[in-house]
Amino acid sequence: MELPQMPELMGLSLLLGLLALMATAAVARGWLRAEEETGSRSAGQKANGFPPDKSLKSKKQKQHQRIRKEKPQQHNFTHRLLAAALKSHSGNISCMDFSSNGKYLATCADDRTVRIWSTKDFLQREHRSLRANVELDHATLVRFSPDCRAFIVWLANGDTLRVFKMTKREDGGYTFTANPEDFPKKHKAPVINIGIADTGKFIMTVSSDTTILIWNLKGHVLSTINTNQMNNTYAAISPCSRFVASCGFTPDVKVWEVCFGKKGDFQEVVRAFELKGHSAAVHFFAFSNDSRRMASVSKDGTWKLWDTDVEYKKQQDPYLLRTGCFEEASTMLCRLALSPDAQVLALASGSSIHLYNTRRGEKEECFEQVHGECITDLSFDITGRLLASCGDRAVRLFHNTPGHRAVVEEMQGLLKRASNESTRQRLQQQLTQAQEALRSLGALKK
């Protein structure tokens, strides 16, 4: 075997050595450039009065930590009719509910808490609240029990109902205890509302498909309702606890009666009546406090007020009392709230609220950009004097001036027809109270 010649070996060695030198020089040049940049940055920091960083990596980590810790700024809103803003939640509020005795307001948010507020503090400078923690989940919906000793929530991740009992302590506070077992999972689509009948006989849950479930308080399904509305956008129990109503893709509101026997045993759910008159899908509806009036808002750009005090078992249909225009409803989802006496209708679209007098159909107040996010819930308190809304991390409460004006108009009309002095005195007292309320808010029309 022949060995390679020496000149060829020497040439190969020289070539490899030259390549190694070039690589070493390139690495050294890059290292020197990095050192110069670091040195110039440190010199600039010294010139500005700052000590040089020991580690660029640690500085970036601190910046990321600082950004993570900074909370988003709270949306600022002011208005002459703003009565209060409740600001204890650290997450966006999705739902709220006034207790039947009027003493409390419950709110739930994605910060894994439910807060119970005292309504007597609403017009004070400080607003007290009690916190109930939702372990390993957060609530999207909340409702008080009729006796105000418990509340139910819908769990976002668990997709089920959880019951919390409220136990009063000696110091006047409350202890909140979740029931050991949640309700069984039955819905196949996202749940959009829950409710408890004021009689305490049943619970309702509704999902975005076409399903409404009627439960007893122990978590057993009593009845399943198929709304046949393509999809549901809302459903609720009437204040009288007789009815469950729903709306959705179809241009009507369907109402069922939940029937119980004389001994309180569940019997059946039967169709009661429908609200027919809209020409497009219905976004939302609400009952008056006595369940004798209902209001609805539709994608056809109108709202309607109905007289539902009818003998539906004799095939009597509800009467349409008033139709109003609300063009925002034709382009976006809307919510509404009806005052307890049905005199005022509140409509929410996006982050704005509009108040209408239902007797004349006229818009009387408008609150724009109330929240930093779209409004998620809207409700009058049981007195009808305050309107509450939520959409970001705060609940905002407004004075219901259209409600006071409606009382003034009604009392003035009744005074003209009053026949005896005692009636006139009572009406005059109510008139004076409403006028004083408007005067104190700077809303009394001359």
DSSP assignment string, 34-72? HHHHHHHHHHHHHHTT-PPPS-HHHHHHHHHHHHHHPPP
Mean pLDDT of all residues in 220-241 = 96
pLDDT of residue 70: 52
Q: Which of 70-79, 96-105, 268-277, 432-441 has the lowest mean pLDDT?
A: 70-79
Q: Which of 6-15, 184-193, 246-255, 305-314 has the lowest mean pLDDT?
A: 6-15
Q: Which of 69-78, 136-145, 187-196, 215-224 has the lowest mean pLDDT?
A: 69-78
**399 SS3 class:** strand
Q: What is the mean pLDDT of the chain?
A: 87
pLDDT of residue 173: 82
Q: How confident is the model at residue 10 (pLDDT cuts 50, 70, 90)?
A: low
pLDDT of residue 14: 61
Mean pLDDT of all residues in 254-279 = 95
Task: Pick the more confident residue, 61 or 68.
Answer: 61
Mean pLDDT of all residues in 253-274 = 95
pLDDT of residue 365: 95
Question: Is pLDDT above 70 for 245?
Answer: yes
Integer Cα distance of 41 and 52 in angstroms: 8
Question: Is pLDDT above 70 for 7?
Answer: no
User: Are residues 233 and 191 in contact, defined by beta-carbon separation less than 8 angstroms?
Assistant: no
pLDDT of residue 61: 56
Taking phi over 0 as left and psi of -120 to 50 as alpha, with beta for the rest, 423 belongs to alpha
In this prediction the pTM is 0.81
**31 SS3 class:** helix
At residue 176, what are phi and psi to the nearest 5 degrees? -110, 125
pLDDT of residue 442: 85
pLDDT of residue 277: 95
pLDDT of residue 21: 66
Question: Is pLDDT above 90 for 103?
Answer: yes
Task: Pick the more confident residue, 438 or 67.
Answer: 438
Q: Tell me the HSE value of 81 on the side-chain side, using a 13 A CA sphere.
A: 25
Helix axis angle for 421-440 and 401-417, nearest 10°, is 160
User: 389-428: per-residue pLDDT in tens?
Assistant: 999 999 999 999 999 999 999 999 999 888 888 898 999 9
Mean pLDDT of all residues in 232-257 = 97
Question: Is pLDDT above 60 for 4?
Answer: no
Mean pLDDT of all residues in 215-237 = 96
Mean pLDDT of all residues in 171-177 = 88
Q: What is the largest CA-CA distance in the chain?
A: 138
Taking phi over 0 as left and psi of -120 to 50 as alpha, with beta for the rest, 17 belongs to alpha
Edge-to-edge order in the sheet of strand 161-168: 139-144, 150-155, 161-168, 174-178
Integer Cα distance of 98 and 116 in angstroms: 10
pLDDT of residue 257: 97
pLDDT of residue 259: 96
Strands (E), 137-278: 139-144, 150-155, 161-168, 174-178, 191-196, 203-207, 211-215, 221-226, 232-237, 243-248, 252-260, 266-276
Mean pLDDT of all residues in 273-298 = 97
Task: Pick the more confident residue, 39 or 262.
Answer: 262
Question: Is pLDDT above 90 for 32?
Answer: no
Q: How far is CA 96 from CA 114, 159, 221, 287, 337, in A?
A: 9, 19, 25, 17, 13
Integer Cα distance of 283 and 330 in angstroms: 10
Non-local CB neighbours of 230 within 8 Å, separated by 6+ positions: 210, 248, 249, 250
Q: How confident is the model at residue 75 (pLDDT cuts 50, 70, 90)?
A: confident
User: Are residues 195 and 240 in contact, defined by beta-carbon separation less than 8 angstroms?
Assistant: no
Mean pLDDT of all residues in 208-227 = 96
Mean pLDDT of all residues in 260-269 = 94
Task: Pick the more confident residue, 29 or 86.
Answer: 86
pLDDT of residue 309: 94
Q: How confident is the model at residue 63 (pLDDT cuts 50, 70, 90)?
A: low
Q: How confident is the model at residue 125 (pLDDT cuts 50, 70, 90)?
A: confident
Write down the residue that tokens 């009406």 correspond to: 427
Integer Cα distance of 374 and 349 in angstroms: 8
DSSP 249: S
